[in-house]
Structure 1
Amino acid sequence: MVNLIADVGGTNIRLAAIDNGEITQLECFKCAEFDSLESVVAHYVEKNSLTVNDACFGIAGPVVGEVLTMTNLGWSFSKQSVKKALGFNQVHFINDYTAIAMSLASLNEQQLTTIHKGDYQETAPRIVCGPGTGLGVAQLINVNGYYHCVSGEGGHADFAPTNPRQLKLLENLMAKFEHVSIERLLSGQGIVNIYQSLAFIDGIDAQAFDASQISQAYIKKSDLLCVETMEIFCDVLAQYLGNMVLTSGAFGGVYIAGGIMPRIIDVLDKKAFVNAFSCKGRFSDYALKAPIHLITEPQPGLIGAQVYLTQQQGNL
């Protein structure tokens, strides 16, 4: 008898078993190859000859109400229908960033790259922010050893420029978007938005670069506009993280997730990043208390799903 955990994205679904507290039999499937969540899970269970007790699914979409719909996938299902179809004892659904947040206290030095050591406080709140396809944000709080995730839509908070160059960037983006959220800059498309806006401001013909091409040019230092684009991206991310520390007191750590930062961490100017993070006037020292880590663990969502399920089962 095992428990089952899953990280369900718009493209891939990662499934694993929890056997005696250990994550085992990890497999990844293409969602497009299955017509429903139940079918891919049933395939995995049959393939591995598993008998499943409880399950926890982290899904890329809002977890509100009985019927859930995936944001970037044509799957819609009710919680009870999944439980009944699969024959599991209990089935829990959480947002994918709730799952990542739930993993934070379990990650060790080998699963992280530390950007700023700070003054770590074990029981203080932790925050996670992940620029990727969009911008995921969540907070983790410790209540007597029991972890709670406080999630919301922080990626849609306003972009707050801090220097004249960023002000011009905001003006350009305001001409394109009704609301210039922080996600308009801190995401894959956000990188493209910054690049194209800078080209317009400087009267330069923008190339038809995507985010990957811009970040590669930044790494190779082969295009000055791409370099500035990524420098602004990193500054804006650091500034936003510093703002989150001011509002949450996240001295348990600031964690960066998502697919963008791991690709550029080796060339990141960490000193400049920390300076942008802590540039908070009279409260600069306050911000500097918070450690900053990049998550390098490839499966934080599965780890978080395990933590959530364990807590639900009362096995702290």
Structure 2
Amino acid sequence: MAASPERIAFPVLSGDIGGTNARFALIQDEDAAIERIPTLATADYATIEDAMAAAIGDRPEAERPKTAILALAGPITGDRVQITNNHWAAEPKTMIERFGLSDVILLNDFEALSLSLPGLGEDGVDPIGDGIATPHGARVVVGPGTGLGAGALIHSRGRWVPIPGEGGHVDLGPVSPRDFEIWPHVEQTFGRMSTETLVCGSGMLRLYKAICAANSVEPTLANEADVAARGLAGDDPAAVETLQLFATYLGRFAGDLALIFSAYGGVYLAGGISTRIAPALKSGAFREAFVAKQPHRHLVERMATAIIVKPDPALAGIDHFARRPTEFGVELEGRWWQG
């Protein structure tokens, strides 16, 4: 095991790299405020290194990063990491050579999100339901976006330990009679039905089309943004049901993870979709599906659920780790490269 470093070399370039957007920030030293850089579209750059160069710009040598800590969608394995739902691949040795870095650390994107959870505070979340988070209880973060990500954070021996994974790809099966009506019409992904098949941006449109097919009507909406907008407006019955079932399936998945990790520190929803459809998530369907875990409903009812409203929480998580690495037990074997 490669333990977390006791100190990180500053300045630090932090990055949250997803399928569609790349968000960067610079931290000049342990006491400096985080400097957020305007979001970059991944489609506008041939490589992640080109995007990093755009983020760094023409800063003087003293302000150029010595360390890069990047959160990537997908598993971190080997010296070349393909980013999920993205044409980029991260090659830390190339980054070290091109930018003169002393260190490159790669994290899973939801691992970085989980690092932000202890510092969210009351202003950083929008509660769903009546659960109460315990200070040192395990925490789970879930986020539908381009895909469906998940991660956990546990407190052990005085440190917060993130647990990365690819939980969004677990199987999703029908439960209610309505599910059984809809399921035959769902377009599968990769030859199977995972939770991500329906609980992500493209999954929302996939679910809408399946509902229309089950109702024997032609779909009239062409993208997930329209489905969300019409569902929230309440003027398209299929879109309204899409949001209700989207919230239900997200609640089932989040409740499963809550049981797995005994998440008495809370379950947190991240990403733009969660904030955009917050009224649907707070309408009751999400929370009811979350707690419907008989015979352990009484346990899950105690657990807090909330939407993260703090801006760029993955960058905030990297910021916490960079300034205070000894407070976290981050596994860095095979994920920390030095120049």
Q: TM-score, normalised by structure 1?
A: 0.90
Distance of aligned partners of 1:237 and 1:91 in 2 relative to their CA distance in 1, 3 Å threshold: same
Indicate the residue corresponding to 1:143 in structure 2: 156
Post-superposition offset of 1:144: 2.5
For 1:106-255, list aligned pairs within 5 A: 106-173=119-186, 178-255=191-268
Distance of aligned partners of 1:277 and 1:11 in 2 relative to their CA distance in 1, 3 Å threshold: closer
Aligned amino acid, residue 25 of structure 1 = E
2:72 corresponds, among 59, 77, 88, to 59
Post-superposition offset of 1:124: 1.7
1:45 corresponds, among 52, 56, 61, to 56
- Counterpart secondary structure, 1:180: coil
Indicate the residue corresponding to 1:13 in structure 2: 22
Indicate the residue corresponding to 1:279 in structure 2: 292
Structure 2 unmatched runs, 5+: 1-9, 329-339
Distance of aligned partners of 1:311 and 1:264 in 2 relative to their CA distance in 1, 3 Å threshold: same
Greater shift after overlay, 168-177 or 292-301?
Answer: 168-177
2:301 corresponds, among 288, 300, 310, to 288
CA contact (8 A) 2:248 2:286 kept: yes
Q: Using the alignment, how far apart are the partners of 2:52 and 2:119 within structure 1?
A: 26
Higher strand fraction (1 or 2): 1
Post-superposition offset of 1:268: 4.2
1:25-70 per-residue CA deviation (whole Å, 9 max, x = no partner) reads 2112344444433344344435343143323111233311112223
Indicate the residue corresponding to 1:301 in structure 2: 314
Greater shift after overlay, 71-80 or 182-191?
Answer: 71-80
Q: Using the alignment, how far apart are the partners of 2:262 and 2:280 within structure 1?
A: 29
Greater shift after overlay, 37-46 or 140-149?
Answer: 37-46
Q: Using the alignment, how far apart are the partners of 1:103 and 1:260 within structure 2?
A: 19
Higher helix fraction (1 or 2): 1
- Counterpart secondary structure, 1:94: strand
Structure 1 unmatched runs, 5+: none
CA contact (8 A) 1:133 1:188 kept: yes
Aligned amino acid, residue 71 of structure 1 = T
Higher relative contact order (CA 8 A, sep 6+): 2
Post-superposition offset of 1:269: 4.2
CA contact (8 A) 2:85 2:146 kept: no
Indicate the residue corresponding to 2:92 in structure 1: 79
- Counterpart secondary structure, 1:260: helix
- Counterpart secondary structure, 1:274: helix
Q: Using the alignment, how far apart are the partners of 1:297 and 1:268 within structure 2?
A: 17
State yes or no: 1:26 paired with 2:36: yes
Post-superposition offset of 1:22: 4.2
Q: Using the alignment, how far apart are the partners of 2:156 and 2:236 within structure 1?
A: 48
- Counterpart secondary structure, 2:74: coil
Distance of aligned partners of 1:124 and 1:268 in 2 relative to their CA distance in 1, 3 Å threshold: closer
How many residue pairs align between the two structures? 315
Post-superposition offset of 1:202: 1.8
CA contact (8 A) 2:75 2:165 kept: no
CA contact (8 A) 1:16 1:23 kept: no
Greater shift after overlay, 50-59 or 247-256?
Answer: 50-59
Greater shift after overlay, 115-124 or 95-104?
Answer: 115-124
Aligned amino acid, residue 87 of structure 1 = G
Aligned amino acid, residue 26 of structure 1 = R
CA contact (8 A) 1:132 1:188 kept: yes
- Counterpart secondary structure, 1:121: coil
Among the aligned pairs, what percent are the same residue?
29
1:172-204 per-residue CA deviation (whole Å, 9 max, x = no partner) reads 337887311111110112112221112222222
Q: Using the alignment, how far apart are the partners of 1:27 and 1:310 within structure 2?
A: 19
Q: Using the alignment, how far apart are the partners of 1:275 and 1:16 within structure 2?
A: 38
Q: Using the alignment, how far apart are the partners of 1:264 and 1:162 within structure 2?
A: 23
2:47 corresponds, among 23, 32, 36, to 36
CA contact (8 A) 2:266 2:304 kept: yes
Aligned amino acid, residue 15 of structure 1 = F
CA RMSD of aligned residues (A): 2.3
1:101-150 per-residue CA deviation (whole Å, 9 max, x = no partner) reads 11111111212111124132222211111111111111111122322221
